[in-house]
Amino acid sequence: MKKVISLLLIVVMLVCGCVLHSSAEESYPVKREDLRIRDPFVLAYDGKYYMYGTCLSQGEGYGCVVSEDLENWSENIQIFSPFEGFDGYADYWAPECHYYNGSFYLFATYRSRLTEKRGTAVFKSDSPTGPFTLISDGHITPKDIDCIDGTLYVDDNGQPWMAYVNEWTSTYDNYGEMAVAKLSDDLTHFVSEPKMIFRANKHIWTNGGITDGPFLYKTSKGRLVMLWSNHARSGGYAVGYAVSDNGEVDGNWIQHPQALYKRTKTQAEGGHAMLFETFDGKLTMALHTPNGSDGETFEHVEFFEMEDTGRLIRVEEKEFLGCIKDLLNKVIYNIYFFVLGIVI
């Protein structure tokens, strides 16, 4: 009798184990490389990774996915759908979720019915998976031009800022601009006039009018850097970065002459990057690659381990896939920027 009971217990334990394993697999059934996403933004919170981005919404609005290991993801979760009377109707782009003062805030772009312009608005929720409620009066960004890709940065004094793009579609010469403005404590409106901090033209690594995807990061030694995207001179969507000369958002921004990430013989183009820290303490860059779909390939997220040198950031050497020319350029550019770093 005891042997029968023991056998039954073993069978029950095996069945339970299989059910739990199956349940875990069903919770995160989507492989990273199979997940279509543009403009990825990762929030690491309470043991899970929440990723937001263009293409994750089921219809109009915004969506996200969840993971515990950055490789296996949940099905798409709808976090905001337009309500009756909502001003947006298209271009639901680049949602970012920031944890700020005990709540979750979504900075996201959409096109307005009233103005026919794109802009960034702010939404709020008690959960990273929503539902999110619109808390700003429509677009926070200027309503008379196309403005996209708003992101949150809180400075050392606790002042929240938005960095965003004056899109090339609304400038006099088709060169996009990066702009910043102070936000109210509740993140619902600007409390300072926007300031243009740099334009897309006249940079060593760029070859276009785009100023996509600003993301602000302060290094371990207090250097404030901004990731942003354009097209590289060698071709393809790419990521570069600038450094503030005084560590302030509205300082003078000096462009690093070499792209941080670009297309090479062994890696595809990619852009609209951001940085986050994994739960095991690794600084990681997320970006989408390639920059379009052709029926055989589509945009997905890639992760790269980064190095914070204090003065700068760079892709870990083991992840750097450039050719010999790129390596030589890297040495020259690092010498150049080292000298420039002494000056600033």
Q: Give first-to-last CA distance, the chain, whole Å.
A: 81
Which residue did the predictor score with more confidence, 326 or 123? 123
Q: Are 303 and 71 in contact (CB under 8 A)?
A: no
pLDDT at 101 over 70: yes
Q: What is the DSSP string of 29-41?
A: -EEGGG---EEEE
Q: Which of 279, 230, 248, 246 is nearest to 46 (CA)?
A: 279
Backbone CA torsion sign across 207, 210, 215, 221: positive
pLDDT at 45 over 50: yes
Q: Are 177 and 171 in contact (CB under 8 A)?
A: yes
Q: Are 255 and 266 in contact (CB under 8 A)?
A: no
Question: How do beta strands 300-308 and 313-315 pair?
Answer: antiparallel
Which residue did the predictor score with more confidence, 202 or 69? 69
Cis peptide before 290 (omega within 30 of 0): yes
pLDDT band, very low/low/confident/very high, at 13 (cuts 50, 70, 90): very low
Q: Which of 3, 120, 108 is nearest to 56 (CA)?
A: 108
pLDDT at 323: 35
CATH class of 32-343: mainly beta
pLDDT at 100 over 60: yes
Structure tokens belonging to residue 158:
């606790």
Q: Look-up: residue for tokens 């940079």?
A: 203
pLDDT band, very low/low/confident/very high, at 20 (cuts 50, 70, 90): very low
pLDDT band, very low/low/confident/very high, at 314 (cuts 50, 70, 90): confident
pLDDT at 295: 73
Q: Which amino acid is at 250?
A: D
Helix, strand, coil percentages for the chain (3-state, nearest 5): 15, 40, 40
pLDDT at 220: 93
Q: How far is CA 14 from CA 1, 11, 27, 60, 180, in A?
A: 20, 5, 20, 44, 57
- Cα-based torsion angle of the residue sequence 310, 203, 292, 180 in order, rounded to the nearest 10 degrees: 70
Q: What is the pLDDT of residues 148-173, one digit of tens each?
A: 999 999 999 999 999 999 999 999 99
Q: d(Cα 199, Cα 109) in Å, to the nearest integer?
A: 20
pLDDT at 22: 36
Q: d(Cα 332, Cα 315) in Å, to the nearest integer?
A: 17
pLDDT at 335: 65
Q: Is 261 helix (H, G, I), strand (E, B) or coil?
A: strand
pLDDT band, very low/low/confident/very high, at 338 (cuts 50, 70, 90): low
pLDDT at 110: 98
**Across residues 251-260, what is the average pLDDT?**
93
Q: Are 122 and 105 in contact (CB under 8 A)?
A: yes
Please enumerate in sequence order all residues whose Cβ is within 8 A of that of 156, keeping only pairs 6 or more positions apart, or say none.
Answer: none
Q: d(Cα 328, Cα 322) in Å, to the nearest integer?
A: 10
* Domain extent listing, the chain: 32-343
